[in-house]
Each structure stands twice: as structure tokens, then as C-alpha cells.
Amino acid sequence: MSNKRRYQTFCKTAVDLPIFLQDWYLDVVCVEGEWDVAIVEKAGRIIAAMPYYIKKKGFFTYSTIPPLTKWLGPYLLPELRKRKHELKLYKELIEQLPTVDFFNQNFHYTVKNWLPFYWQHFRQTTQYSYLLTEIDNLEQIYKNISTDYRNNKIKKAKEHIVVSSDRTLKDLYDVNKLSFERQGMSVPYSFSFLENLDKVLAEHKARKLFFATDQDGNIHSVLYLIWDKQSSYYHIAGDDPALRSSGASILLVWEAIQFTSKELGLKTFDFEGSMIEGIERVRRQFGAVQYPYFNVRKYYSKTFQVAESIKGMWS
């Protein structure tokens, strides 16, 4: 049986495997390449795994992060997340990684030790996700939101904005697209890509769409929430640039936090982080706490490194 087949079975029992590392999630996001996985077994049982995504462009083969995938990285069973186990298991996983021109992954923030990767000449940049934890205490979570957001955004938005889930995925994508266009950017995924992902997430009962509309039916803001057994994730969002002053986007976040706590029974809301100053400020206004995670990468090909620096095209 291949590593991939073993891993597909393992995913059904791994207690806290992030949604981005699930085999069914990888199946749908890795459409422009292929994914596989390094595994370590003991007594016929997987105890460590590390999925990876391989793409080709021109003469190059490289391992990178699939679209709409926040993290990959090594996963160890909870009882093995100790230094004495990590050093050995990470070394075994590294030895199984594919021969490529470039390797690049974001490790989940539960991965605290990247030293074995450093010893193998990988490089690391620390980035940040922003989390709200213990959100079962919604009263305290609301108190921790900045006064400006509570009074000038959430309360005022409630006076003329209705939150619902009764619009279409295409509506959500179109508003999401407006946010990219406002910044002079193209959406990094097509509607058909999102449609396929949404179908799979719906089948696994792991997503909800939120829309903020006014009395005339205009969509001010959208939010696409996904979740696993530990956390919900602020995965996709967008605003109509002409209607951004309504506070609808802030109201949607608060509604998604409440949904996570009351309906899903989860204690963690993950903003998925951002290194952009303006976005980071919004996370802090909600009282979210920084959680560092590692971007780990390695160039095996100097030619690739030069090509990337010139073109910036290897995403």
C-alpha cells in the first residue's frame, strides 16, 4: 500500500489534524499538481506524517503551498510532540521529501521545533496567525473587542445590516473579487476552483457562508468560514469598496465567532493571520493573540532561485 493510501486511512483517526492536512482537502486544492506524503510508522501505525504538493513549470519541479491552504508541515501524534521524539521523527520525514528544485511550506503553529530542518540547510521565516481562544466565554470575548469596534462598527451595523447565509457562492466570490480589485490584484483562484472546494467542504459539513446585506439587498460584506475539530478559520472575506464604511465586515466576524462557539462548540477562532500592517491591526482590535508559525523553505537549484528572484512566479 502506498504512503498516500496509508495516510488517507490515518486521516480518519488523527485526533487533531488541521483541515488543511486532510487527504480530501488536499485532493481538491492540489489540482495543478500532485500531492503525496512522507510517513513514519511504528508497529504498523503512522506516528508522523508530512504531506507535500508538487508542481512543475518549464524545466523546474518544486514543492509549494496549494491555493487556499494556510498550512502543511509535519504532523506528529500528540503524545510524541516532545523534543526527544521530534528530532528523530522530523529527520525521518525530511529524508523522504521529494527531489525538487525548491521546497516551501508553512508549518502549523503547533509545530514549535524546526531545528532538524535547519540542520538540513532549510531556512525559516517567522510569520503570525491571530487566534481567539476560550471563546466559549463570549461575554469576555466581546469585552476584549476594542470600544471603537463594539460601538462604532458592530452596534451601528446592526441597525441597518442583516446577516444571513441565503445568497450564493457566486455572490460571495464576486464580492471577494472586489476586494482584490480594490488593491490592484487578481483573485488567486478561479470560481470553479472555489466551487469544487466548497462542494467538498459542504459534504464534510465543514463550511458556512455569511453575507451582510442592507434593506435594499446590497451585499456589503462576505465571509467564508471553515472548521475542523479544534478551530474555525476566517478563510475568505470581502467587501464592496463602495460600502466599506457600514461596519458590516466587523459585524460578520463577530457573528462568525458566535457561530463557532454556540453552534460548533469550538473554543478557537483562527483569523489565519496576516503580515500586512492594516490587516494585523484589525485582528488586534478583536483581542486576538499572535501565534507564531514557520515558513520553511530550501533552494536545491541555484537556477531556480535566480529565476524566482526575477519573475516571482513560483507560487
What's the rounded mean pLDDT across residues 287-299? 94
Residue 312 predicted with pLDDT over 70: no
CA quadruple 63, 315, 231, 295: dihedral positive or negative?
A: positive
pLDDT at 25: 98
Instruction: Identify the structural domains of the chain with CATH numbers, from first to last.
Output: 3-125+295-311 (3.40.630.30), 134-266 (3.40.630.30)
Neighbours of 133 (CB within 10 A): 15
236 near 68, Cβ under 8 Å? yes
Query: Residue 257: is it exposed, middle or buried by C-beta count within 10 angstroms (0-12/13-18/19+)?
Result: buried
Residue 315 predicted with pLDDT over 60: no
Determine the straight-line distance between the first and last CA of the chain, rounded to whole angstroms: 31
Q: What is the pTM of this model?
A: 0.94
Residue 281 predicted with pLDDT over 90: no
Distance in angstroms (rounded) separating the CA atoms of residues 239 and 81:
40
Residue with cell 500586512: 276
Residue 35 predicted with pLDDT over 80: yes
What are the grid coordinates assigned to 247, written together? Answer: 461596519
Residue 313 predicted with pLDDT over 70: no
Q: Band of the pLDDT at 277, cuts 50, 70, 90?
A: low
